[in-house]
Structure 1
Amino acid sequence: MNVPDLKNVILPKLLSGVRDGLPLDAIGATDCLQALALTGQALRFDRPRHPEQFQVEESVVDHRAILPDAARKLVLRLLSGKNPASGPLAAAIVRTLAERKFRLHPFDLPKLEPFVKAHAESLGAEALAFSQRETPVAQKQNYFAPEQLNDDNWMHASPAVKAGYIRTRRASDPDAARAMVEAVWTSESADSRLRLLEAFREALSEKDALFLKGLEKDRAPRVRELAQRLLVRLPGFDGDDPNLRAALERIKLSKAGLIFKRTALTLELPATVRDFTKMAWLNETFGPVGLEPLAEALSLPVDDMVAAAEKQSDLLAAFLFMATRDRRLDVVRTITDRHLRDSWEAFSQFDAQMLADYSPDMRQLWVEHIFRPDRWAADTSPWTIRQTAQWLDGQATEDLFSAIVQSKPWHSLRKDNGRYEADILDSMAVMSPSSMRSTLRAELAALEPAKSGNAVLFLDLMDSLETAHA
């Protein structure tokens, strides 16, 4: 008697009924109960058949430290409660976890699934693997922390991380960075190609000309347009620049003054441009044009060109867009200090993507030049605070934050008896530097708890993370 006999002879009879009796002689049993017991024991120790093929999941290694318990509880309250954190708070949490090299507890990933899926690329290898657990193997993304990238693996990272790596390499070795991009160009998506090309703003030189000219037939219109804008900014470019030509067609140069003649610039808007589309038209027409090429075409130094437009607020806004794209913070400051008192309004229709290639320090300076809380009037919308936080994308300096707390829109918001959105309070929490959190808590204590609750929890979380990281 052996296991195959019990399975092949006795088990079918037991399953179908034993009215015809069991073949006890075949297995050497004396009665039915003994046969039943032997069959049961045989099934206990019988191993299942091996599958013909295996699919082995790669193990995920995430070297970030798990959130401390105190911070973990606050994250769960903020992101999985009945009143989940707003977009600005969620983005700030992701940014802070990345900066301090913390990761979510594995047990919390299912509880925070919507948040994890929205920010998986920034939350670490474990979160990315969780978000892609049902994604086909061929479509899964690899996770590479920025500090783990090198010239051999950079192309396997996410588009944003790849662009950041190439931007860094452009700063140290432009030729090597260009060669790496050329090697993978045809295999990249349109969005990834655009991001990589944006990185060429760093250390742009005549050596990039051949590569940029080759993009004239790229299948993505946005890539072709950006390549053309970069090409015309190369030193010594002598070809046609349609963007510069279009801008010059709208500027009239004249002489003003009775005794001392000075140059004056006037902007002529198309008849089809209305007030609500004016800023978009100015950015579209003048944004792609560099300050230096335009000043050279007008035979003026950049500073004189700005001064010549002192009474033309629309033209000054156009110069402001150009200076922003050129990262000429000195020109940005000149325009906002001397000419445009309400410069923040020019950017109300745009998003912070315009500062995508700014470093955090440059972004802070730009925001301080553009958004002037001391100039905000009582009728300035409190949403300007939200706008400031969007462009800043991080903590404000003590001077800027103190000015916001003392600004008229913030004081009017406190007197408005609930006629404000929680997003504005969340934006204040995101911008608050650590030294000003106690001040902001005192300000929030006077407001509706239902609207200020998440902002206070966020401040507690930031304190907890800084303590754990110390």
Structure 2
Amino acid sequence: MNKASILDTLMQGTARRPLIPEGVLGEGIAPAEPCTAPRLMALAVQAELFAMPLVPTEFDEVAAQDDPRSIVPEAARPLILRLVSGKGNPPDDAAALALALALEAGGLRLHPFDLPRLNAFVRKHSDVLGQAMTGRNDESAERVGDWFASDALDPTNWTLATPARKATFIAQLRGSDPASARALVEAQLPVEKADVRLRLIDALATGLSGDDRTFLESLANDRAPTVKQAVTRLLARLPGTGAAAAQIEELVSRIAAGKAGLLRKRITLKLQLPANLKGPAPITEWLAANFGAVNSSSLGAAFGMSGDAMLEAAQGDDDLVKGIAFAACAGREWSLLEDIARRYVPHIWAEFLQPGLAAFGVVLPAERSQWISAVIPGAVAPASLNPWVLTALHEAFAGPLPAAQARALFAGALKASHPSAELFTATAALMPLELLSEVRASFGRLPPELGARANSLIATLICLNQGTTQP
């Protein structure tokens, strides 16, 4: 007796074919009892429920999710949950960004059991964490690209990476093979959204040469205004192009040369801004768009001056000095930029954060390090520090700062006249690994309402890097 024979007999009627309990299913059931048939039917139904499904003749092949990263250390899991999940633990502040960047740098991924509680954090930083972290089965989530280690990207798979990694890959390839990188971008641009097209165009600033002119001119009519502006910036950096000549002519027409001094005359330069610019933000955007599209050598040559002489003539005109700093960055003239930071505008580093470093073609980690060394050559004034600029610096630098600059910002934050938990958290997020233990002791002496989140971040970062919590 089996489930099929039981159900078949019940369907035909037990009057003609009585149910006789036998075999495994009939063991212990008396044949003549009134409940025999219902008991056998119940057993047959239970056996049916636990039956193995039929094996299909064909299978749909679905690519398995391949994520070779190690899961975060077990000791780090409660620290991460405490840092970026639950009430009062924002998933989108400086601490959350520092955590995302640390996971990326360490080649780590979150524990799958923690993902539901970390959903907001994962979605906010999906570009850094990678699509494999967000879960491919979530149809409501927009696909942002697959996770790949930086050294695993090549011309065959780079289009599957996240937008940030795409741009970095192109910038790195431009350093060794500009033509191949340009060809990859040319083939990929038609299928990308405007924000990704902008990143890829900005990445072409690395290794920019006259060979890029034809391709860039073909993009002058891109449907996105931001992309068109980026293309114009790059064309203006190419000597001999119409865009370069027009940009230099525009700036020269707005810079008036004069002389000052009684006994020893010196040349002065004054910048006349467009009359419709009202407020610091529009002025900075205009300066970045126009001076960031040339280099200080070309601008100085238009006045028959070196970069240093032009800077000397511009002293007293803060907007012009800021513009020269933007031009120096675009031309990778780091020594001139460092001179501006030391002698004229100590907080010039903050002026780059509104337009963003990508606007000046600073994409590669090596160039970001050269930039930060130039703009923060010494101490940082506490008055120039606030949570917004530090968070923006963290986003622009895409990770912790070099030790010298991190120490300068840390010392300035401790002397701030208006300290806040957000300020100290943003400062902690900028600290490199070698300074974490040192600054942890200082933050530990702060009142809990000021240092609690900074300390929580530092403990998490130490645990991620060492695999164990610190006492």
Normalised TM-score (structure 1): 0.82
Structure 1 residue 91 displacement after superposition: 1.0
Alignment pair present for 1:192 and 2:196: yes
Alignment pair present for 1:224 and 2:214: no
Structure 1 residue 201 displacement after superposition: 0.8
Structure 1 residue aligned with 2:169, among 142, 152, 165?
165
Structure 2 residue aligned with 1:43, among 38, 42, 45?
45
Does structure 1 retain, via aligned residues, the 8 Å contact 2:71–2:108? Answer: yes
Structure 1 residue aligned with 2:343, among 338, 342, 345?
338
Partner of 1:103: 109
Could you say what secondary structure the match of 2:467 adopts? helix
Could you say what secondary structure the match of 1:107 adopts? helix
Could you say what secondary structure the match of 2:345 adopts? coil
Partner of 2:304: 299
Does structure 2 retain, via aligned residues, the 8 Å contact 1:60–1:125? Answer: no
Structure 1 residue 322 displacement after superposition: 2.2
Partner of 1:24: 14
Partner of 2:315: 310
Does structure 1 retain, via aligned residues, the 8 Å contact 2:130–2:145? Answer: no
Bigger CA drift: 458-467 or 108-117?
458-467
Could you say what secondary structure the match of 1:35 adopts? helix
Structure 1 residue 175 displacement after superposition: 1.3
Quote the Cα distance in structure 1 between the aligned partners of 2:145 and 2:390: 36
Q: How does 1:97-176 map to 2 (within 5 A)?
A: 97-124=103-130, 126-128=132-134, 130=135, 132-135=136-139, 141-176=145-180
- Where does the alignment leave 5 or more consecutive residues of structure 1 unmatched? 12-21, 414-418
Quote the Cα distance in structure 1 between the aligned partners of 2:355 and 2:377: 18
Could you say what secondary structure the match of 2:15 adopts? helix
Structure 1 residue 264 displacement after superposition: 2.3
Does structure 2 retain, via aligned residues, the 8 Å contact 1:163–1:196? Answer: yes
Indicate the RMSD between aligned Cα atoms, in angstroms. 3.5
Does structure 1 retain, via aligned residues, the 8 Å contact 2:357–2:396? Answer: yes
* Cα separation, partners in 2 of 1:363 and 1:161, compared to 1, 3 Å: closer
Structure 2 residue aligned with 1:205, among 209, 212, 217?
209
Does structure 1 retain, via aligned residues, the 8 Å contact 2:295–2:327? Answer: yes
Amino acid at match of 1:160: A
Partner of 2:283: 278
Quote the Cα distance in structure 2 between the aligned partners of 1:388 and 1:163: 19
Does structure 1 retain, via aligned residues, the 8 Å contact 2:294–2:331? Answer: no
Q: How does 1:238-253 map to 2 (within 5 A)?
A: 238=242, 241-253=245-257
Partner of 2:455: 456
Bigger CA drift: 63-72 or 248-257?
248-257
- Where does the alignment leave 5 or more consecutive residues of structure 2 unmatched? 21-31
* Cα separation, partners in 2 of 1:334 and 1:389, compared to 1, 3 Å: same
- Percent identical: 30
In the alignment of these two chains, the number of paired residues is 450
* Cα separation, partners in 2 of 1:9 and 1:179, compared to 1, 3 Å: same
* Cα separation, partners in 2 of 1:102 and 1:55, compared to 1, 3 Å: same
Structure 2 residue aligned with 1:329, among 321, 331, 334?
334
* Cα separation, partners in 2 of 1:44 and 1:216, compared to 1, 3 Å: same
Q: What whole-Å deviation, never above 9, does each CA across 1:48-74 have from its counterpart, x for those lacking one?
A: 678999777542222111111222222
Q: What whole-Å deviation, never above 9, does each CA across 1:371-401 have from its counterpart, x for those lacking one?
A: 4773626x55555666655555433444334
Structure 2 residue aligned with 1:89, among 81, 90, 95?
95
Partner of 2:23: none
Structure 1 residue 152 displacement after superposition: 1.4
Structure 1 residue 320 displacement after superposition: 1.4
Does structure 2 retain, via aligned residues, the 8 Å contact 1:194–1:223? Answer: yes
Quote the Cα distance in structure 1 between the aligned partners of 2:208 and 2:333: 16
* Cα separation, partners in 2 of 1:387 and 1:110, compared to 1, 3 Å: closer
* Cα separation, partners in 2 of 1:161 and 1:329, compared to 1, 3 Å: same
* Cα separation, partners in 2 of 1:446 and 1:364, compared to 1, 3 Å: same
Could you say what secondary structure the match of 2:75 adopts? helix
Amino acid at match of 1:464: C
Bigger CA drift: 102-111 or 82-91?
82-91
* Cα separation, partners in 2 of 1:438 and 1:168, compared to 1, 3 Å: closer
Quote the Cα distance in structure 2 between the aligned partners of 1:431 and 1:239: 38
Q: How does 1:404-419 map to 2 (within 5 A)?
A: 404-407=409-412, 410-413=414-417
Bigger CA drift: 422-431 or 362-371?
362-371
Amino acid at match of 1:133: N
Structure 1 residue 424 displacement after superposition: 0.9
Structure 1 residue 81 displacement after superposition: 4.2
Does structure 2 retain, via aligned residues, the 8 Å contact 1:62–1:124? Answer: no
Q: What whole-Å deviation, never above 9, does each CA across 1:110-143 have from its counterpart, x for those lacking one?
A: 2211112222343356413x2x422179968433
* Cα separation, partners in 2 of 1:133 and 1:308, compared to 1, 3 Å: same
* Cα separation, partners in 2 of 1:290 and 1:3, compared to 1, 3 Å: same
Quote the Cα distance in structure 1 between the aligned partners of 2:439 and 2:421: 14
Q: What whole-Å deviation, never above 9, does each CA across 1:335-373 have from its counterpart, x for those lacking one?
A: 222323443564575556557734444434433543477
Quote the Cα distance in structure 2 between the aligned partners of 1:459 and 1:139: 31
Does structure 2 retain, via aligned residues, the 8 Å contact 1:185–1:193? Answer: yes
* Cα separation, partners in 2 of 1:374 and 1:216, compared to 1, 3 Å: closer
Quote the Cα distance in structure 2 between the aligned partners of 1:233 and 1:351: 18
Structure 1 residue 154 displacement after superposition: 1.5
Could you say what secondary structure the match of 2:415 adopts? helix
Amino acid at match of 2:404: D
Could you say what secondary structure the match of 1:236 adopts? coil
Structure 1 residue 220 displacement after superposition: 1.9
Quote the Cα distance in structure 1 between the aligned partners of 2:211 and 2:142: 37
Structure 1 residue 88 displacement after superposition: 0.9
* Cα separation, partners in 2 of 1:349 and 1:174, compared to 1, 3 Å: closer
Q: How does 1:378-417 map to 2 (within 5 A)?
A: 382-383=386-387, 389=394, 391-407=396-412, 410-413=414-417
Normalised TM-score (structure 2): 0.82
Quote the Cα distance in structure 1 between the aligned partners of 2:146 and 2:198: 20
Structure 1 residue 251 displacement after superposition: 0.7
Quote the Cα distance in structure 1 between the aligned partners of 2:224 and 2:165: 21
* Cα separation, partners in 2 of 1:373 and 1:411, compared to 1, 3 Å: farther
Amino acid at match of 1:142: D
Could you say what secondary structure the match of 1:249 adopts? helix
